[in-house]
Amino acid sequence: MAACVSRVELSVSCRSLLDRDLGSRSDPLCVLLQDAGGGRWAELDRTEKIKNCQDPEFCKKLVVDYYFEKVQKLKFSVYDIDNESFDLNDDDYLGGVECTLGQVVSNSVFTRPLELKQGKPAGKGTITISAEEIKDTRVVYFEIEAQNLDKKDFLGKSDPFLEFYKQTDAGTWQLVYRSEVIKNNLNPCWRKFSVPLQTFCGGDFNKPIKVQCADHDSNGSHDLIGTLETTLAQMQTAGAGSLVEYECIHPEKKEKKKNYKNSGIIRIKSCKIETEYSFLDYVMGGCQINFTVGVDFTASNGDPKLPDSLHYVSPDGINEYLIAIWSVGSVVQDYDTDKLFPAFGFGAQVPPSWQVSHEFALNFNPSNPYCQGIQGIVDAYRQILPQIRLYGPTNFSPIINHVARFAAHSLQQGTAAQYFILLIITDGEITDLDQTRQAIVNASKLPMSIIIVGVGEADFKAMEFLDGDNGVLKSVTGEPAARDIVQFVPFRQFKNAPQEALSQMVLAEVPKQLVSYYKWQGWPPLKLSEIKAM
C-alpha cells in the first residue's frame, strides 16, 4: 500500500458558468471524483451549493490524499442543483475538467476551461483550483454576534451573513468561511462554527483576515453592509467574559458621509483553538478495529448447487460473496492485531433442529464464532454451504444488534480503544426494515460502522434508504441517527474492476466515521504522548 505523503486542500471557484435555470441563474455545486479504473469514477468530496450564481467561489474545501508515487487522475464536475437529492443524475451538468493532482499541486493557481464533453466547451465557463498542503491539525472555533447593523431591505431589516477571507502570499483575498444567513435581524448571533487553522490563516496568527458582512438577497445580488480587517492573534483575546469588538465599515459611505460612524459592530464572543485528531492518530494511538462479517443465506440467493445461484462457487473457487469478503477483509485485517474475526450467517435453516436462524456462527461454534484471518472466514463459508438450507426471511437487525452489544460494552471503557465494523453481504431483499432502522439508529451512538455490499441484480432501494446519503436516517418513531454509519455499495458496479476498487469504495467512509465518533465523544487517541514524540 502506498504511503500517503500528505493531505491537500483544494479551493475551487468558477467563472461564467452556463445558465440552465429559467427565470434565475444556476445553483452550482462542484464534485471531485477520482479515477477508480475501468472507466469508472469514485466521488471523493463535494462543495456546498451556491444559489443563483454564475461566478461561484465555493467555501467548502475539497480534501484529497496526495501520493507522490501515484498518478491520481481527478475530475472536477460542476452541476446545477435543482433538488435536495444527493444523486446528481437528475441535475444539469454545467461542465467539468479532467487533470491529475500532480498538475494541480505543481501550479499555484490552476485555471482551465470547462468542457461538456471532450473538445466541447461549456460556453465561456472556467474553473480555478488552488491547492494547499494540510500540515496543521488544529481547528479554530468561533462564536460571533453583531449589533446595530445597517438596514438594507426596503420592507424588512437585513438578512446578514459573514464571509471571512485570508490574504494570500500574492496579496489577493481567498474565501475561507461563509456563515449561515440570519433573516430579518439587525442584531444577529451566528451559530458556533469551526474552521481548520490551516484553512483560516495557514497557521500564521498575524496573517491579515478580512471579514465582510452582507445582506443576503435570494437573487444572488447581496448588498455589502460593511467590512473589517483583523488577525487571528487579535481575535484570540476574546473569551472568559471579554468580547473583542470591531466597527463594521462601508467604504463608500465612509467616504461620502461626513458624520458617518459605522454600519454596526461585530463582536467576537469566543475564539478558541483545539487540536483535531486524524484516523491515523487514533490507529497509531492503539485503537483496534474489530471486523465482523454477516452473510445472507436466504432462499432468494438461489440453490448453491446451481450455476445461477449467488452462492454457487465457480470452478475457480469464487463467487460474489467470497470476492466481497476478500476485498474488504484484506484491508481491514491490517488494523486488528489478533486477526480473529467473528463471522455469522442469517436466513437459513441450521442443523440439527433445522430452525431458521438470523445469527448463526459460520463455524457452527456459537460460543467461539471467531475465524482465523480472512482465509478462516472463507474456509468456514465453503464448509457450511452444503450443510444448511437456504430459507428466509431476510432479517438484518439481529446481527446489527449482536455487534452493537460488543460496541456498547467497549463504550463503557470511555476511551478510543476499540471500533467495530460490520460487513453485511446480501442479495438485498430485506424483510425487517423497521427493526433494522431502529437498530441502525441505536448503533449510531456507538463506536461502529456498517458496510452493506449488495450482490446480484436485485432492486437495492431499501439498502440505499439505509445509507443516509439522501438525508438523515430515522427510526419508525422519528428518532434520527446520531451520525451516518451505513455505507452501501452494489457489487455489480465493480464486477469487472480490480479487487481494490471495491474495497476503496466500501471503506472510504470508515475513517471519517471513526474520527467523527471519537470527536463527538471528546475522546483523544489512547497514546497521545507517543504520537507527539514521533
| Tens of pLDDT, residue by residue, the chain (534 residues) | 334 457 889 999 999 999 887 777 899 999 999 998 888 898 999 999 999 999 999 999 999 988 766 778 999 999 999 888 788 888 999 999 999 988 888 777 899 999 999 999 999 999 999 988 887 878 999 999 999 999 987 777 899 999 999 998 888 999 999 999 999 999 999 999 999 999 999 889 999 999 999 999 988 889 999 999 999 999 998 877 789 999 999 999 999 998 999 999 999 999 999 888 888 788 878 888 899 999 999 999 999 999 999 999 999 989 999 999 998 888 888 778 788 999 999 999 999 999 999 999 999 999 999 999 999 999 999 999 999 999 999 999 999 999 999 999 999 999 999 999 999 999 987 899 999 999 999 999 999 999 999 999 887 887 877 876 667 888 999 999 999 999 888 888 887 777 677 887 888 788 889 999 998 998 999 886 344 443
Distance of CA 254 to the CA centre of its chain: 44
Same domain, 247 and 143: yes
Q: Which of 64, 40, 88, 19 has its CA nearest to residue 470?
A: 88
Given 84, 102, 134, the domain boundary residue is 134
Same domain, 314 and 266: no
**Does residue 532 lie in a domain region?**
no
Same domain, 218 and 83: no
Same domain, 79 and 216: no
pTM for the model stands at 0.66
Given 231, 248, 275, the domain boundary residue is 275
User: Could you give the number of structural domains in the chain?
Assistant: 3
Cell reading at 196 = 481548520
Distance of CA 133 to the CA centre of its chain: 19
**Does residue 527 lie in a domain region?**
no
Same domain, 284 and 326: yes
CB 249 within 8 Å of CB 228: yes
Q: Which of 400, 467, 406 has its CA nearest to residue 439?
A: 400
Residue-number span of the structural domain to which 237 is assigned: 138-275
| Main-chain dihedrals φ then ψ at residue 93, nearest 5 degrees | -85, 125
